[in-house]
Amino acid sequence: MHNPILKIKLYILVITMLSQPLKSVAHNSSSTNSYALVDSNATCQTQHLYSNLLSLSKDYTLFGHQNTNLYGVNWVDDAFNSDVFEVTGSFPAVYGYDFLSIGIADYFKEERSATYDDFIEYTKWAIGKGSVVTFAWHQANPVTQDSFYDKTPALHTILPGGDNHEEYKQQLDKIAAFFLKVSPYPIIFRPLHEHNGDWFWWGKGLCTEEDYITLWRFMVEYLRDEKGVDNLLYCFSPDRSRINLESFSEQYFYGYPGDDYVDIFGLDNYWDVGHRANNKALELKKEDFVRSLELLNDLGNTHSKLTALTETGLEAQTDFNWWTQTLLAGINATRESQGIAYVMVWRNANREREKKEHFYAPYKGHPSEHDFIEFRNHESILFESDLPSLYKDSLLEPTK
């Protein structure tokens, strides 16, 4: 962060945020609708966020964007910018980041456009403006120290007693230190995602289901019980492309560590919203998208969990009415499909640096810009400027 004036403004904003009084709310009280959190000692702010997202999800959906302020299609090195902001005049309500970008392991350096300390400031900045922050972790292969796409069998080596277990704990220590620096304010942590696919080293067929569950439980217990991290909401997010809708419940729970280890039921779904490998007719894909949300929300209600569309999007925005005719129409199709707390689209890669058309939100001048603005203005969709106070006990109405 190189602009000293903006940095001073950021610190003033964060100090103001931290000085706001917050009431304590009893765990499992009526304000959380008896939705027990993984961490019974979760900070008040973490409890309030969960409760308020739960309340909002009945009528509203927060919009999120991965790496929204790290770079855009046509810009870099402006941490207070966003393609979303340039098009709509508001930042997203949910900021998605990844520990890959922070450098927990020494690889994939081209992804890094900010330092560890920068990410602390960005997280506090986003929360200070009232938004939500979620972190994923595209973890390097522990055996080869190569990409997360390296399929060398590795998960068993980081379990207790494994050859790489101590090194894994050292990485968790770095992550824990990060979380503690922004505490008491919460972060949604979404590790080991899309594990029912076979493209990451922690995926199905590259480790056993039992080992996956053991790793998830160890990770939660280590962060919560050993490191004292009490400001996390843990999100479980399999991939829709590996789930048959006719057996959704059974297949969704592949690798599920149990209700005591998960706060949010997520779903990564590119499959039904325009993925090029899905050869179904457009209308059938749209029907499947609605059904996937209905089934996800049904599981959330049954298990008393918040739900979210944790990754989605149409790469390069080739359908210029995608925002209203596919995403918005699908979310609002039925009362049962409306229950997700937030939707997160993937990042906008920088065209000059990465030499590819890889973006999931429109940039200024893109043909889908006007449809995106219509999506943003819909009464059920919340961007940052629409949010009520999510970190306080009392929930205000959205500003829309």
Instruction: Residue 283: give the domain boundaries.
Output: 43-386
The mean pLDDT of 124-149, rounded to a whole number, is 95
> Is pLDDT at 69 greater than 80 in this prediction?
yes
Which tokens is 29 given?
């009280």
The mean pLDDT of 133-145, rounded to a whole number, is 94
Band of pLDDT at residue 113, cut at 50, 70 and 90: low
Residue 198, helix vs strand vs coil: coil
> Is pLDDT at 4 greater than 80 in this prediction?
no
Band of pLDDT at residue 2, cut at 50, 70 and 90: very low
**From 23-37, 127-141, 261-275, 276-290, the region with the lowest mean pLDDT:** 23-37
Look at residue 4 and tell me if it is in a domain. no
Name the maximum alpha-carbon separation found in the chain. Answer: 55
Give the tens place of pLDDT for each residue, 252-263: 999 999 999 999
| C-alpha distance from residue 18 to each of 4, 14, 53, 185, 396 (Å) | 21, 6, 20, 9, 19
pTM of the model: 0.91
Check: CB of residue 299 under 8 Å from CB of residue 258.
no
- The torsion region of residue 134 among left (phi > 0), alpha (psi -120 to 50) and beta comes to beta
pLDDT at 116: 85
Residue 265, φ and ψ in degrees, nearest 5: -90, 110
Check: CB of residue 48 under 8 Å from CB of residue 20.
no
Task: Give the helix/strand (H/E) hosting 98.
Answer: strand 94-98
> Is pLDDT at 20 greater than 50 in this prediction?
no
Task: Please give the full DSSP string across 200-239, using - where no structure is assigned.
Answer: STTSBTTB-HHHHHHHHHHHHHIIIIIS---SEEEEE--B
> Is pLDDT at 97 greater than 60 in this prediction?
yes
Contacts of 46 (CB under 8 A, 6+ apart): 37, 39, 184, 185, 186, 230, 231, 232, 233
Task: Give the helix/strand (H/E) hosting 299.
Answer: helix 282-303
- The torsion region of residue 232 among left (phi > 0), alpha (psi -120 to 50) and beta comes to beta
- The torsion region of residue 39 among left (phi > 0), alpha (psi -120 to 50) and beta comes to beta
Band of pLDDT at residue 17, cut at 50, 70 and 90: very low
| C-alpha distance from residue 54 to each of 17, 32, 257, 342 (Å) | 22, 8, 22, 10
Look at residue 23 and tell me if it is in a domain. no
Contacts of 359 (CB under 8 A, 6+ apart): 73, 83, 315, 316, 317, 347, 348, 349
Look at residue 203 and tell me if it is in a domain. yes
Compute the residue count for the chain: 400
The mean pLDDT of 156-179, rounded to a whole number, is 96
Look at residue 38 and tell me if it is in a domain. no
Band of pLDDT at residue 321, cut at 50, 70 and 90: very high
> Is pLDDT at 139 greater than 60 in this prediction?
yes
Task: Give the helix/strand (H/E) hosting 76.
Answer: strand 75-76
Look at residue 184 and tell me if it is in a domain. yes
Per the structure, the count of domains in the chain is: 1
Which tokens is 395 given?
């929930």
pLDDT at 77: 86
> Is pLDDT at 333 greater than 80 in this prediction?
yes
- The torsion region of residue 205 among left (phi > 0), alpha (psi -120 to 50) and beta comes to left
Which amino acid appears at position 329 of this protein? A
> Is pLDDT at 28 greater than 70 in this prediction?
no
pLDDT at 398: 86
CA gap 143, 394 in Å, rounded = 48
Look at residue 201 and tell me if it is in a domain. yes
Which amino acid appears at position 7 of this protein? K
Domain holding 65: CATH number? 3.20.20.80
Band of pLDDT at residue 299, cut at 50, 70 and 90: very high
pLDDT at 13: 44
Look at residue 193 and tell me if it is in a domain. yes
Check: CB of residue 231 under 8 Å from CB of residue 185.
yes
CA gap 159, 180 in Å, rounded = 24
pLDDT at 394: 60
Give the tens place of pLDDT for each residue, 185-234: 999 999 999 999 999 999 999 999 999 999 999 999 999 999 999 999 99
**From 95-109, 136-150, 291-305, the region with the lowest mean pLDDT:** 95-109
